[in-house]
């Protein structure tokens, strides 16, 4: 083997990527020995816009536009941080409805990620199947909130729409259909050669490295690191609705897929529990005043931990809104995983991370 290395870029426009990210790989023959990443292609300056252009009560809708897939987690984290500053408690029903939408969002986001993993393994038919089944979830999201992706469901003080009986019935029906489909995916992802054996041992991260690089989300849980913000916050009653931590020990692509599939099942169970035991009450409590002081709120987005830091000085304009998105915090871990892998596996590994670059660059 010669000592000479070659540089091969992946992105920013690449056939297997949906997102504008560029990795510059330094390769020794087929093996990757060095990684350099560029993630700032879609920077829109949302943090600055939040402190200069918009008043605090409109920012919930602004930050929802950071990302299409985890829009609900963004607006929820911001809104809860503001609610903390304003003081005052929102009703239990609103909290349950917030969890319901959060989990529906997680289901459709994980399904999207799984379908892209299939696509990058060369399994187009499965990609289309999962994308088709994902419509079942999108449909109920539209019924519940009025829109497929930009829900705009959460406002300061509660939620915007109530759940009626017909919608609840439709949600239960569709979730039962999704559940049957997810079991068939689990079968495919464990027994199909191109989805399971091919992925075993590829792109692995050890538990030690997961701790060292502060990995989060399904990436960390696939290595056995028990980090899930749903377990670490008191604000929403996740333990009441049946949250269970899903972990795996292998840390490779297959493990990440299995963690995601198990999380979908857990989310489905949580949604059912919420619909069965939805408490009575108002969905909206009016909160008055202007935010003063600083608050920090974390939530579990589909890709991992999302953090909002909000600082206000008692006026309608905020002093600082800091958004820490899951993919942004994982970039050092991503780069570490690529080291020592083969270049040909890079697209599949990248798809298994489920990166969200529009979150990262905000």
Partner 1 sequence: MLTSFIKAFKNLFKKPQTIDYPATPIVQDKGHRGLIEYGEESCIYCLKCEKACPPGAILFVPVQDPSQNEKNKKGLAYNYNPYLCIYCGECVRACPKPDEALWQSNKKPQVAVKSDKVNAEWFVLEKLKKQEKTK
Partner 2 sequence: MKKIEVALKSVRDEIKSFYDYKKWHFLTLNGVALEDNRMQVQWIFSKYEALDEVVIYYAEIDYTERIPSLSDIIPSAIISQRELVDMFGVEVEGSEKGLYLDEDSMQTPLRSCLV
- Residue 39 as a binder of partner 2 (CB under 8 A): the answer is yes
Q: Dig out the tokens for 360 from the structure.
A: 């990262």
How far apart are alpha carbons 138 and 284 in whole angstroms? 24
- Residue 332 as a binder of partner 2 (CB under 8 A): the answer is yes
- Residue 196 as a binder of partner 1 (CB under 8 A): the answer is no
Site string for partner 2, 218-257 (x = CB under 8 A): --------xx---xxxx-----------------------
- Residue 143 as a binder of partner 1 (CB under 8 A): the answer is yes
- Residue 305 as a binder of partner 2 (CB under 8 A): the answer is yes
Judge whether 157 and 285 are in contact, CB under 8 Å: yes
Site string for partner 1, 54-73 (x = CB under 8 A): x--xx--xx-----------
- For the chain, give the number of residues: 362
How far apart are alpha carbons 361 and 351 in whole angstroms? 18
DSSP state of 192: -
- Strand partners for 153: none
How far apart are alpha carbons 337 and 212 in whole angstroms? 13
Judge whether 125 and 314 are in contact, CB under 8 Å: no
Nearer to partner 1, 76 or 350 (CB): 76
Nearer to partner 2, 276 or 320 (CB): 320
| Region of 17-25, 144-152, 228-236, 248-256 interacting with partner 1 (CB under 8 A) | 144-152
Show the DSSP H helices in the chain as ranges: 46-52, 59-63, 71-86, 92-120, 124-145, 165-191, 207-212, 217-221, 253-276, 326-338, 346-353, 357-361
Residue 5 neighbours by CB distance under 10 Å: 15
- Residue 146 as a binder of partner 1 (CB under 8 A): the answer is yes
- Residue 289 as a binder of partner 1 (CB under 8 A): the answer is no
Q: What angle, rounded to 10 degrees, do the helices at 165-191 and 253-276 form?
A: 160
Q: Which does 337 bind (CB under 5 to 8 A by kind): partner 2, partner 1, none?
A: none
**Phi/psi zone of residue 105: left (φ > 0), alpha (ψ -120 to 50 degrees), beta?**
alpha
Nearest distance, CB of residue 247 and partner 2, angstroms: 12
Q: Which does 332 bind (CB under 5 to 8 A by kind): partner 1, partner 2, none?
A: partner 2
Q: Dig out the tokens for 355 from the structure.
A: 């990166």
Site string for partner 1, 231-270 (x = CB under 8 A): ----------------------------------------
- Residue 315 as a binder of partner 2 (CB under 8 A): the answer is no
Give CA angle at 199 (195, 204), nearest 5°.
150
The label of the residue with tokens 């729409």 reads: 161
- Residue 361 as a binder of partner 2 (CB under 8 A): the answer is yes
Among 51, 160, 190, 335, binds partner 1 (CB under 8 A): 160
Judge whether 222 and 256 are in contact, CB under 8 Å: yes
Phi, psi of 232 (to 5 degrees): -115, 0
Among 5, 16, 160, 214, binds partner 2 (CB under 8 A): 214
Nearer to partner 2, 89 or 234 (CB): 234
Q: Which does 26 bind (CB under 5 to 8 A by kind): partner 1, partner 2, none?
A: none
- Residue 320 as a binder of partner 2 (CB under 8 A): the answer is yes
How far apart are alpha carbons 238 and 217 in whole angstroms? 16
- Residue 18 as a binder of partner 1 (CB under 8 A): the answer is no
Q: Which does 58 bind (CB under 5 to 8 A by kind): partner 2, partner 1, none?
A: partner 1
* Contacts to partner 1 by CB under 8 A: 54, 57-58, 61-62, 128, 132, 135, 142-143, 145-147, 150, 152, 155, 160-161
């Amino acid at each position: 083997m010669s000592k000479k290395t070659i540089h091969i870029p992946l992105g920013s426009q690449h056939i297997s990527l949906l997102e504008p990210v560029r990795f510059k790989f330094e390769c020794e023959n087929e093996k990757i020995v060095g990684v350099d990443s560029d993630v700032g292609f879609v920077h829109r300056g949302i943090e600055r816009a939040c402190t200069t252009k918009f008043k605090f009560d409109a920012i919930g809708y602004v930050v929802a536009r950071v990302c299409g897939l985890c829009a609900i987690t963004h607006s929820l984290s911001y809104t809860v941080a503001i609610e903390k500053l304003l003081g005052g408690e929102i009703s239990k029903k609103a909290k349950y409805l917030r969890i319901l939408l959060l989990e529906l969002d997680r289901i459709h986001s994980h399904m999207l990620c799984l379908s892209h993993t299939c696509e990058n393994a060369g399994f187009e038919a499965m990609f289309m199947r999962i994308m088709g089944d994902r419509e079942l979830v999108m449909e109920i999201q539209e019924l519940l909130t009025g829109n497929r992706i930009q829900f705009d469901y959460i406002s300061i003080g509660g939620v915007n729409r109530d759940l009626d009986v017909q919608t609840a019935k439709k949600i239960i029906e569709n979730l039962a259909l999704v559940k049957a489909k997810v079991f068939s995916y689990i079968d495919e992802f464990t027994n199909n050669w191109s989805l399971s054996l091919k992925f075993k041992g590829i792109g692995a991260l050890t538990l030690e490295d997961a701790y060292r690089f502060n990995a989060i989300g399904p990436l960390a849980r696939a290595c056995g690191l028990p980090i899930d913000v749903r377990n670490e916050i008191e604000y929403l009653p996740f333990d009441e609705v049946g949250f269970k931590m899903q972990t795996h020990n292998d840390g490779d692509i297959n493990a990440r897929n299995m963690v995601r599939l198990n999380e979908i099942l857990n989310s489905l169970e949580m949604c059912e529990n919420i619909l069965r035991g939805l408490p009575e009450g108002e969905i909206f409590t009016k909160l008055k005043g202007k935010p003063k002081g600083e608050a920090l709120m974390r939530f579990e987005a589909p890709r991992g931990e999302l953090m909002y830091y909000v600082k206000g000085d008692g006026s309608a304009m905020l002093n600082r809104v800091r958004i820490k998105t899951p993919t942004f915090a994982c970039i050092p871990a991503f780069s570490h995983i690529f080291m020592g892998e083969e270049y040909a596996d890079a697209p599949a590994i990248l798809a298994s991370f489920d990166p969200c670059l529009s979150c990262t660059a905000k």
